[in-house]
Amino acid sequence: MLRTSLQAGLAGAFLALSSATALADPLVAAAGLAPAAIADEGMWLFNNPPTEQLRERYGFDITDEWLEHVRKSAVRVSTGGSGSIVSASGLVMTNHHVASDILERLSTAENDLLANGFHAETMDAELPCPDVHLDVLWSIEDVTERVDGPAAGLDAAAAGAARRKAMTEIEDAAKKETGLHAEVVTLYQGGRYHLYLYKRFDDIRMVFAPEKGIAFFGGDNDNFEYPRYCLDVTFLRIYEDGKPYVPEHFLSWSEAGAADGELTFVTGHPGSTQRLNTVAHLEYLRDVAVPGALHRLMRQEVLLNIFSGTSEEHRRVAEGDLFGIQNTRKVYLGRTAGLLDPAVFEAKRDEEDRLREEVEKNAEWEEKWGSAWDEVAAAQRAARSMSLRYNVAGGPGLGLGAQLGGYAVTIARLADELPKASTDRLREYGDASLPRLYQGLYSPAPIYPDFEMMRLESALSLMAETLGAEDPMVVAALAGKSPRARAAECILGTTLMDIEARKALVEGGASAVEAANDPLIGLAQALDPFSRELRKRYEDEVQSVERAAYAKIAAARFAVFGEGVYPDATFTLRLSYGAVKGYQDGDREIPPFTEFAGLYEKAEERAGESWYTLPESWSSREDSVVPTTKFNLVSTHDIIGGNSGSPMVNRKGEVVGLIFDGNIQSLIGNYAYSDEVARSVSVDSRGIMGALEQVYDAKRIVAELKGQAAGK
Amino acid sequence: MLRTSLQAGLAGAFLALSSATALADPLVAAAGLAPAAIADEGMWLFNNPPTEQLRERYGFDITDEWLEHVRKSAVRVSTGGSGSIVSASGLVMTNHHVASDILERLSTAENDLLANGFHAETMDAELPCPDVHLDVLWSIEDVTERVDGPAAGLDAAAAGAARRKAMTEIEDAAKKETGLHAEVVTLYQGGRYHLYLYKRFDDIRMVFAPEKGIAFFGGDNDNFEYPRYCLDVTFLRIYEDGKPYVPEHFLSWSEAGAADGELTFVTGHPGSTQRLNTVAHLEYLRDVAVPGALHRLMRQEVLLNIFSGTSEEHRRVAEGDLFGIQNTRKVYLGRTAGLLDPAVFEAKRDEEDRLREEVEKNAEWEEKWGSAWDEVAAAQRAARSMSLRYNVAGGPGLGLGAQLGGYAVTIARLADELPKASTDRLREYGDASLPRLYQGLYSPAPIYPDFEMMRLESALSLMAETLGAEDPMVVAALAGKSPRARAAECILGTTLMDIEARKALVEGGASAVEAANDPLIGLAQALDPFSRELRKRYEDEVQSVERAAYAKIAAARFAVFGEGVYPDATFTLRLSYGAVKGYQDGDREIPPFTEFAGLYEKAEERAGESWYTLPESWSSREDSVVPTTKFNLVSTHDIIGGNSGSPMVNRKGEVVGLIFDGNIQSLIGNYAYSDEVARSVSVDSRGIMGALEQVYDAKRIVAELKGQAAGK
C-alpha cells in the first residue's frame, strides 16, 4: 500500500527515506539526472506542468482551466494520503487503507468497522470523524527570494535558522491575510520555495467503507503484488456549517472506465522521493538510516503481534498500527534490497559524475557550486554520528511511543513555546500550525491504557537497548526504574486520558503544568533538553548543510538541464501522467485489468487462509455479480507512498480509477523511475460502481456519483 | 519453553546469555554469592551433590546408588534438550517441543506429523529419526590439573590456546581408550575441568507424539505462563544393533504422581546460566549482547512470518524454525526486562563488593586474584569492539543462515583442517568430534531450496545492513551482487543438496573441493579468512582473558565460601531438588496442579483462536475423559533452558512428571534463583498416563510404562 511514513506513525527526518527493489533494471542507468524526463516519468508541479511532453507523447494540450479543475477537486487527507471530491455534495473518495485509522477510531468493542464495513443509508447516519481534516490546494506562489534573502552571506547553520524563521513569517502573514492554511514548501531540496495556501475542511463524516476482507483481499501477502482484487475504497463527505459542502469543482464519474493504452492522469500527494540525492547521501541511507528504520519496524511488528495475541480486544486495538507497520516494513525491505543492489549505485554514480563534469567545465559554476557534493558528504558524516540517538529520542518530535506520550510532549512544549514570539518557537508550534496541533491534542479518539503502556515500555526499552542503560538520556528517562515499571508509573499516574485535563493544562500554561506534577509530563520534561539539543545539532549540522548544498546542486541542474524538471516528492499536490498498460514478469504476461471472476477464483485457490476469506456480502453474491466487471488495473504513472487514494482521471477529467498500490517492482521508485515493469495499481471505476450496485446495493451513493441527485 | 539456544539455531558464544524478568524480587539480593545455596537453589553436579541440604531440608539421604541409577537413566538429546529412559526396552520420554525438529523432518507435504501427531501401534511402525543421537553420562573425572598444567606461566591468549589443545588431547585419548564420546567440560567459568564420558546412541526411532494443538495448547501466547494445559510429551526408542536397547538402568513410572509439597528431583541438562558473572560482564550483556541478539531474533521472526504467509507448504517448512525463534525471543525479552531492572544490578553489585572485600582483606588472595574483576572488564571492552561483526559472521561457526550454507562451511573447513593433527585443528574438527560432524553433514533430512534461498539472502543482507555495504567482509560475501541475486546464484548453483555429492567432496579433500567450483562453497571460502581472524581475536582477547580471570574468581569463591557451591549451567547433567508448590501472582493464588477439566474450560473461553483449538482426539472425548485427572504442575526446582524434557522423579526414583517450561517469573533464573514466585512447569505423570489411556488408547505404550510387557 502506498501509505506515507506519516501514516505508519513514523515521522522524523531519518525515516523519510527511499525505496527500491532488488531487481536490476536497464532503465535505471538512464533515469534520474537525464535532462528531460523519459517515458511517463515525473511527479509534476501544477505551476510547472509537463506541457510539452504531453503534447509530444500523447497529443494532449493541457490547459490552465483543466489544471485548476483537477487541482481543486483533489484533497490531501490528514491521515497521510490523497483523495478527491466526486460529487456536487462534497462526497470524497479515498482508499480504505487511508481511512483505516478513522474506521478503527469509530469502532467499538461491539462493532468493528474495519471488519464489518460501514454504510450510511441516509445522510443522517453519516458518522463524524474526529481529528480528520482535508486540504484543498487553493493557490501557489514562488517565495524563493523571500526565504533565501535573509540567509544571504550567513554560514550554513545561521542561514538555516534564518530560512526557517522567514518561512514561519511568510506562513503567519499569509494565514492572517487570507484565513487559509499556509505552508512554505521546500522544493528541489532547497532550490525553490513555494507558498501553498489550502482551504481546510475539518467536519468530515464517514459515508461508506467496505469490509477489510475485500478492501485488503490478500492481506500483507498480496500487498505490492499484482494481479490484485481489492476494493480499496472509502467514501467520506465534507461538511461546512453542518451541511454537505457544495464545491466549485468536483470530478465526474466515468462509467466506461479507461481502455488499455489510454492516457490518464493521477493527481495526488506523493510523500517523499530521493531521486536527486547524492551518492554519499544514498550510502548513508543504505548503511545507517534504512537498516535502523527496518530494525525499529520489525521490533514494533513483533511487539504488536505479541500484544494482539493476548486477547480479541487487544487484537482489534492494535490492528491498525500493525497493518501500518507491516506495510512500511515491506517498503523498507524493498528499499534495503534496492540499496544493496550494486547496479542502482553504479547508475547513480554515473549520473553524478556526468553532472559534476559539466559543472567543472565552467569556472564560474565550479566556483559557485563545485563544493556542494563534498558538503552533502560532510552532512552525512554528521548524521552518522547522531542518528541512532536522534531516532530513539523520537526525532524532532520527541516520541514517547504512544498517544498519551505525544500529548505529554505537546503540553510540556506548549508551556515553554507559547510565551515566545511565533517565529522564535520550534517550527511546529508557530501560530499557523496551532489549530491543527490543538485539533490533535483535544481529540476525542479513544485511548487504551494497556496499549499505551506496552508502547511506552517498548520506547523506553528501545532507548536503553540502543544507547546502554547508563547513558544520561536513558538514566533521565528511566528514573531508577525498569522500563516496565516506569511505563506503568507514567500511564497509570497521568490525567491526560481526560480531554478537559489536557485543555486545563494548556490554558493554565507553565504554572499549571508544574502544579499538576503529572508523571508522564515529567518524563517528557526530563527528556526535552536532550531532544532539543539533538534537534538543534541535527538542524545545524545536517539539515542546514544539506539545504545549502542541495540548493547549489539544484542551481547546477537548472543551469545544465534547464527548468523543465520536476522536484522530488514533498507530500504536496503533483500531476502524473501515463497509460493503462500490462507488463512482463519473468515468463508471465500480466494483463492490465482484473475482473470480479478472478476474485472468486483466487478465494477458492487459497481457501482457509484468513487473508483470502471473502466477507459474506461478496461470498453470498458469487452467482449474481457480473463476472466480467473490471476490478483492478495497472498503469505506468509515476507515483509513490502518499499517492494512496489519488483519483485517476481521463482527458475529460472524469474518474476512471483510484490509485491504491504499486507493484513490487515499483518500490525502486524512491530512487529512479522505470516504466518497464514498475506499475501503479488502481481500483477501476467500473469495479467501484459494480460493487456499489451489485454487492452493496448502495443506491444513494450510486445516484450521487452518477450525478442524478445530491445525496439525501 | 525451556529450549536451549542450540535448539533455536542460535549457536555462538554471544548468544549463550542470561535471563530475567522485570519483576523485582527481594530474594535477588540474597542469592548468587551466598556461601550456601538458599532454599531449593542449585543445579548440582552428580559428583558434588547437595547431600547436606537434602538431609537438613528434607531429611533425605542421597546415596551413590541412587545417583548412579538416575544418572544412567537420563539422556541428553542432540536437538538440544533432555530426556529419560522409562522402560526395559529403551523407551525414552522427552518433550514434544524437544522432538519437534524431528517431527518436522519426518513430515511430508501429505502428512504433517506436528499437526497430526504420530502413534506407532506396533514396533515395526516406529520411524527412524535421522540425525538424532542420545547421550547417557557414563562417567565423570576431574582433569583440572591436566588442562591447567600446560597453561602455567603463559599469557592469557597463549594459556587459552594451551588449554584448548590439552582439552582436545584428553578427549581424543579418552575416546580412543574407551570408545565412549568424550567431552571436557569447563565448570565454574574455568575453576574446574571435568572429563565427561557418554555412551552415545544414534539409532533413535519415533514411537508416539500427540498433536501440536495439545502439546503446545495456548501457543506462544501461553508460553512461560501458568496455569497450563499442555501434553508436551513425545516418546522415542533407542535401538542398538537394530533391536530395542535393553538398558541397565531406567526409571519406573509412578501412577500416584507427586503430592502438594512433596520433595522431588529433576535430572537434566540446563543449558547456560550467568549467575557468577561480574557486574561488568552483565553490563556488556545488557547493553550490547542481549539487545543485539533480540534484534536478530525479531528480524528472523518477521522474515519467517512473511515466508510462511506465501503458501501452505512454506508455512509447514518454516513452522519449526518460527516456533523456536518465538520461544527464544520471549526468553530474550524477559532477559532484557530483567537486565534493565536496576534492582537486579544493585543486588549483583552488592554481592560482588562483598566477595572483593573478603579477597582484599587477605594479602595473598589479593595478590593472586585481586585483578580478576578488572580483567573481566577488559575482556568486555574487547567484546564490545568486535561483537557486531563476529555475530553477523555467524560466530565461531561462520553461519550462512541455512542448512546448505552450514554444509558448505563444514566441507570447506574439513578440506583445510583434516590434513592437520587433531590438536591443531579448530576445536570442533578434532577427531573426537568428527563422528557427530559427519552424521550432521550426511543427514538425509529434506532441504527446501526456497527456504534456503530466503535464509541465505537474509544472512547476507543482515551482514550488509550491520557493517555497511562497503565493508571488506560484505564485499567478499556479495561479490558485486545484491543479497537476493547472490543467494540465488549460490543456492541454485550448488550440488550440496545431494548427500553423495557432499560425501565425494569430503572424501576428495581440498583438490576435489577446488575442482568442484561450487558457488556456495566459494562463498564459505570467501568469508572463511574473516571468520577465522575474528574467532582468533575473540578467543584471545575475550574468551581466554575471561577464562583466566574467572578461574581466579572461582578460586576466590572456593576460598571464601568453601567447595559446597554449584557451577553455572553448561548443558551437562545436573540434579535439582525442590517441592511441588503453588504460588501467589499479585492477587491470585495459583494452585500447583491443573486438571483435564480446566483444559476444556480454557478451550471454550478462547474459542475461535487457533492456539486454543483442541485437536479432534481431545474435543471428541470431552465427555469420556476423567475430568479430575491431574494434568500440569508447578514446583520450586532450579532449572533453565535445556532442562526441557527432564524427568521429575520422587525419592524412589520413579517418574512423577516431565519438565517442559518455567513460568514468566522464572526467567530471572539466568542471573539468580528465587523460590518466591519462580516455578518450573511439568506435565504430571498422571496426565501423561491419562492421555495415553483415555484419549489415545495407546495400549502398547501404557503396558510398557507399567512394566507389564516390553513393547512389541
pLDDT tens figures, A476-528? 999 999 998 999 999 999 999 999 999 999 999 999 999 999 999 999 999 99
**Chain-chain contact of A461 with B24 (C-beta, under 8 angstroms):** no
| Residue among A629, A648, A637 at smallest CA distance from A686 | A629
Which residues 529-588 in chain B show a CB within 8 A of chain A? none
| Grid cell of B212 as nine digits | 501440536
Q: Which residues of B405-419 are buried (b: 16+ CB within 10 A; e: fewer)?
A: bbbbbbbbbbbbbee
Quote the pLDDT of residue B419. 95
Q: Which of B287, B336, B478, B605 to mutate to test the interface with A (most CBs of A within 10 A)?
A: B287
Cβ-based contacts of A466 with chain B (< 8 Å): 291
| pTM, entire model | 0.81
Instruction: For residue A334, list chain B residues with Cβ-Cβ distance below 8 A.
Output: none
CA-to-CA separations, B237 to A236, A447, B108, B204, B351, in angstroms, rounded: 66, 55, 22, 6, 46
Using a CB–CB cutoff of 8 Å, tell me whether A256 touches chain B. no
| Dihedral angle, C-alpha B537, B538, B540, B544, nearest 10 ° | 180
Q: Please, are residues B69 and B632 in contact by the beta-carbon 8 Å criterion?
A: no
Contacts of A414 (CB under 8 A, 6+ apart): A429, A437, A506
Question: Is A384 touching B (CB cutoff 8 A)?
Answer: no
Q: A304, A388, A465, A612: best mutation site toward chain B, by most B Cβ within 10 Å?
A: A465
Q: What mean pLDDT do residues B316-323 have?
A: 86
Q: How many CA atoms lie within 13 A of B209 on its CB side?
A: 31
Which of A339, A465, A480 lies at the smallest CB-CB distance from B291?
Answer: A465
Q: Which residues of A touch B309 (CB under 8 A)?
A: 219-221, 611
**Contact present, B80 and B698 (Cβ < 8 Å):** no
pLDDT at A344: 81
- Residue A320 pLDDT: 81
- Residue A396 pLDDT: 63
CB of B294 less than 8 A from some CB of A: yes
The Cα–Cα gap between A409 and A518 comes to: 12
Burial string for B570-585 (b: 16+ CB within 10 Å, else e) reads bbbbbbbbbbbbbbee
Question: What type of residue is A270?
Answer: P
Rounded distance between C-alpha atoms, residue A166 and residue A162, angstroms: 6
CA A263/CA A261 separation, integer angstroms: 7
Query: In this predicted model, which residue has the larger pLDDT, B388 or A74?
Result: A74
Instruction: Count the Cβ atoms, other than its own, within 10 Å of residue A243.
Output: 11
For B342, the closest of A291, A339, A481 (CB atoms) is: A481
What is the per-residue pLDDT for B709?
Answer: 52
Map residue B589 onto helix, strand or coil: strand
Distance, CA of B319 to CA of B220 (rounded, Å): 12
**Cβ neighbours, 10 Å, residue B263:** 18
Number of continuous H segments (helices) and E segments (strands) in chain B: 26, 20
Alpha helix segments (H runs only) across B479-566: 483-493, 499-516, 519-538, 544-561
Give which of A409, A464, A466 is closest to A440, Cα–Cα: A409
What CA–CA distances, in Å, run from B438 to B434, B491, B649? Answer: 6, 21, 35
First-to-last C-alpha distance (Å) of chain B = 33
Cell, residue A222: 498480496
pLDDT digits (tens, 9 = 90+) for B173-182: 999 999 999 9
Asked whether the beta carbons of residue B469 and residue A301 sit closer than 8 angstroms, the reply is no
Residue B55's CB is within 10 A of a number of other CB atoms, namely: 12
Cite the beta strand spans of B549-691 per DSSP E.
574-579, 583-585, 588-590, 593-595, 630-635, 647-649, 655-662, 680-684
What's the one-letter identity of residue A186?
T
No. of helices (H) and no. of strands (E), chain A: 26, 20
Confidence of residue B295 (pLDDT cuts 50, 70, 90): very high
Could you say which residues of chain A have pLDDT below 70? Answer: 1-38, 395-399, 401, 709-712
Closest CA of chain A from B351, distance in Å? 19
Q: Provide the pairing of β-strand B134-142 with B192-201.
A: antiparallel
Instruction: Answer for the pair A572, A195: CB distance below 8 angstroms, yes or no.
Output: no
Q: Rounded to the nearest 5°, which phi and psi values hold at A348? A: -65, -40
- CB-closest option in A287, A484, A609 to B337: A484
Residues 6+ apart with CB under 8 A from B264: B258, B577, B578, B579, B580, B635, B637, B648, B649, B650, B656, B657
Select the residue of B287, B302, B470 nearest A298 (Cβ to Cβ).
B302
Give the three cell numbers for residue B349: 553489585
Of B305, B336, B469, the CB nearest to A465: B336
Q: Residue A129 burial (CB < 10 Å; 0-12/13-18/19+)?
A: buried
B220, B461, B611 member nearest A340 (Cβ): B461
Could B341 and A466 be called an inter-chain contact, meaning their C-beta atoms sit closer than 8 Å? Answer: no
Closest-CA residue to B134 (of B88, B198, B195): B198
H or E segment to which residue A83 belongs = strand A81-85
> B510-544: b or e for each residue (b if 16 or more CB lie within 10 Å)?
eeebeebebbbbbbbbbbbebbbebbebbbbbbbb
Q: Which of B171, B189, B188 is nearest to B180 (CA)?
A: B171
So what's the pLDDT on residue B518? 96
In chain B, the largest separation of any two C-alpha atoms, in whole Å, equals 74
Closest CA to B91 of B689, B701, B679: B701
Q: Which residues of B touch A302 (CB under 8 A)?
A: 298, 301-302, 329
Q: Do A294 and B465 touch (CB under 8 A)?
A: yes
For B544, the grid coordinates are 581466554
**Are A469 and B340 inside 8 Å of each other by CB?**
yes
| Residues listed for chain B | 712
Is A470 in contact with B309 (Cβ distance < 8 A)? Answer: no
Which among B295, B299, B485 has the least Cβ separation from residue A22?
B485
User: A595 pairs with which residues across the strands?
Assistant: A630
Contact residues, B window 18-57, toward A, CB-based 8 Å cutoff: 22, 24
Strand partners for B196:
B140, B183
Cα–Cα dist A219/A609, whole Å: 10
Whether residues A283 and B483 touch (CB distance < 8 A) is answered with: no
Inter-chain residue contact B482 with A341, CB threshold 8 Å: yes
Contacts with B337 from chain A: Cβ below 8 Å: 461, 482-484
Contact criterion met (CB < 8 Å) for A469 and B310: no
Cβ-based neighbours of B467, under 8 Å, separated by 6 or more: B388, B389, B392, B473, B474
Looking at beta carbons, which residues of chain A come within 8 Å of B454? none
- The angle subtended at Cα B120 by Cα B119 and Cα B125, nearest 5°, is 145
CB contact under 8 A, B461 and A611: no
Residue B232 near residue B614 (C-beta atoms within 8 A): no
B20 chain-A contacts, CB cut-off 8 A: none
Measured distance CA(A25)–CA(B405) in Å, rounded: 29
pLDDT in tens, B69-81: 999 999 999 988 9
Q: Which of B290, B340, B466 sits opposite A482 (nearest CB)?
A: B340
CB contact under 8 A, A469 and B309: no
Scan residues 620-679 of A and list those with Cβ closer than 8 Å to B. Answer: none
Q: Is B470 on the interface with A (CB under 8 A)?
A: yes
pLDDT at B212: 95
- CA A492 to chain CA centroid, Å, is 33
Mean pLDDT taken over chain B = 89
User: Could you say which residues from 317 to 346 on chain A have a Cβ atom under 8 Å away from some Cβ of chain B?
Assistant: 329, 336-337, 339-343
- Quote the CA–CA distance of B42 and B36 in Å, as a whole number: 10
Is the pLDDT at B42 greater than 80? The verdict is yes
Dihedral through CA A325, CA A329, CA A330, CA A333, nearest 10? Answer: 180
Q: Which of B178, B4, B167 is nearest to B78 (CA)?
A: B4
ipTM of the complex: 0.80
Query: What pLDDT does residue A10 have?
Result: 30
B169/B164 Cα distance (integer angstroms): 9
Q: What does the alpha-carbon distance between residue B522 and residue B520 come to, in Å, rounded to a whole number?
A: 5
Helix (H) or strand (E) holding B420: none
CA distance B596 to chain A (A): 22
Which chain B residue's Cα is nearest to A470? B287
Compute the distance between CA of residue A203 and CA of residue A471 in angstroms, rounded to an integer.
Answer: 46
- CB neighbours (10 Å) of residue A449? 14
- Cα distance between residue A473 and residue A534, in whole Å: 11
Task: Give the Å distances, CA to CA, from B578 to A676, B269, B330.
Answer: 69, 16, 25
The model's confidence at residue B33, banded by pLDDT at 50, 70 and 90, is: very low
pLDDT tens profile A565-599: 899 999 999 999 999 999 988 778 999 999 999 99
Give the integer Cα–Cα distance in Å for A494 and A487.
11
Q: Taking CB atoms and an 8 Å limit, are A469 and B283 in contact across chains?
A: yes
